[in-house]
Structure 1
Amino acid sequence: MEKISATIIYDNNLYKQGLETAWGFSALITGAEKTILFDTGGDGPILLGNMEKLGIEPSSIDTIVLSHIDGDHTGGLGSFLEKNNNVTIYLLKTFPKRFKDNVQTAGAKMVEVEQSVKICENVYSTGRLGNLKKEQSLIIQTDKGLLVITGCAHPGIVKIVNTAKDLLKDDILFAMGGFHLEWSPRSKIEKVISAFEQLNVKYAAPSHCSGQKARNLFEEHFGKNYINIGAGKTITTQDLQ
């Protein structure tokens, strides 16, 4: 596959000065067959404002993947659809009927996800994971390994990474997004880091609900293979060894 890029549009961590931060997550994936917006943050004006500052046209996006129902990942969708409703939205079948009705009323196409599904060439959803908080994550297959992008990792980041490896039988080049470790003790974070090592995750890029303590510990462990991300950061596979 050609070069894949992931740009963080919306995050509570700042990477590029001039962008607005708020609790939530959204990332743009380019270079695949489809141009994918993964999650939409919690606030439409912030999402669209950051897109404008980053030179991203809403009309360039044809696919949206929503990791889970929480407002800090779906709150920007309505504002986005006012700019571009010519998109296909992949959301979990368990999303409330009212939410799905609003998507259809806005004129967007919708795919309800239960099992793992192929979104386009080399791009997959993990399918629904988790019991209490149901969530899907994004997997992108490249010639360097798998890219795993998570919203909040409510089902557990290690489980998500394991699922990606099991589905596509390849090593993980990087795991990026919310790892849901903000409120975890150091001992749990260290167990996750140890599991990443055993699973041969090459690069780690925790953001959103990962928490600063976890970000610091991942940086200590991964060194140059830790990627500091926040709103405005772009990671490309070309830059990863």
Structure 2
Amino acid sequence: MKITVLTDNNSLIDRYYLAEPAFSLFIEEAGKRILFDTGYSDVFRRNGEKMGVDFSLIDTIVISHGHNDHTGGLQYLSDLKQNIEVYAHPEADEDKSYKGLDISMPVRFERLKDNFRLILSRKPMNITDRLVFLGEIERKWQQVAPLEGDDLKDDTAMVYKGEKGLFIITGCSHSGIINICEYSKKVTGINRISGIIGGFHMLDNDRLNREVRDYFRKQDIDVIYPCHCTDLKAKIALSRVVDIREVGVSLQLEIY
């Protein structure tokens, strides 16, 4: 599996791509060309085209959850072929707000149906033999919520069954990064996690930092790539127990 970061809050030095407070990945796996989230604007597409990504060959889109910083770019994909499969939780396009601001998906399912084939599921689904869309994450392992009252049921993730264990791909982890890890184990039957990339939703929360740090210490994870909604304090806390790598636009990973 090959992962390319198209959009993140950060852009890697000397690469000259655009960054925005959002997230999008381009994933190639078993002949599939997958967009995981689409960022806030057309930045993911502008960056991707500059990197040589042929968007006309995209066959799958995965929506991690229905916030506009992960789905805003959907409105810049209407020119693509109509047989693209879009995986999402059925509640992803419900209205969402934060501190009075509308942060909902700008393109709702009714409109997406005009261009793409929607696959809405609360249950896990295989995208390839080794890559799984997790559906609705069970929330029974993590004690500290990422944000008080943040009951975003549509928050989901993907997990790749690699040679060294599970590699988890998450958008924002509203459902809790520990819950995502444990649910990935439950769904796949594989107990070892080799790596994680994505937003952990660890923002100015010392209790959460301690809980996730202590959890990661017990997991023997090879490497993590926390980004987007993971602040500096969280990264420092986690770096004490696991190898952390820098993330930014144009980062490429190959996972076996």
Shift of 1:208: 0.3
Shift of 1:14: 1.6
1:117/1:184 Cα in 2 relative to 1: closer, same or farther (>3 Å)?
same
- 1:122 maps to 130
Shift of 1:191: 2.0
- 1:63 maps to 60
Runs of 4+ aligned residues of structure 1 deviating over 3 Å after TM superposition are 83-86
- 2:152 maps to 133
**Secondary structure of the equivalent of 2:113?**
helix
- 1:111-146 Cα distance to aligned partner (Å, 9 max, x none): 001111112211111111267112110011111211
For residue 48 of structure 1, the aligned residue among 45, 49, 54 is 45
- 2:58 & 2:130 partners in 1: Cα distance? 17
Instruction: State, as a whole percentage, how many aligned pairs show the same letter.
Output: 27
Is 1:172–2:203 an aligned residue pair?
Answer: no
Shift of 1:19: 0.7
Shift of 1:173: 1.1
In structure 1, list runs of 5 or more residues that go unmatched: none
- 1:217 & 1:162 partners in 2: Cα distance? 20
Is 1:101–2:110 an aligned residue pair?
Answer: yes
- 1:104 & 1:128 partners in 2: Cα distance? 21
TM-score for both structures, normalised by structure 1: 0.89
In structure 2, list runs of 5 or more residues that go unmatched: 95-106, 140-149
Matching of residues 1-241 of structure 1 within 5 Å = 4-16=1-13, 17-44=15-42, 46-96=43-93, 99-105=108-114, 107-129=115-137, 132-134=151-153, 135-170=155-190, 171-185=192-206, 187-222=207-242, 225-237=243-255
- 2:34 & 2:130 partners in 1: Cα distance? 13
Shift of 1:84: 4.5
Give RMSD over aligned pairs: 1.8
**Secondary structure of the equivalent of 2:168?**
strand
TM-score for both structures, normalised by structure 2: 0.84
- 2:50 & 2:203 partners in 1: Cα distance? 28
- 2:98 maps to none
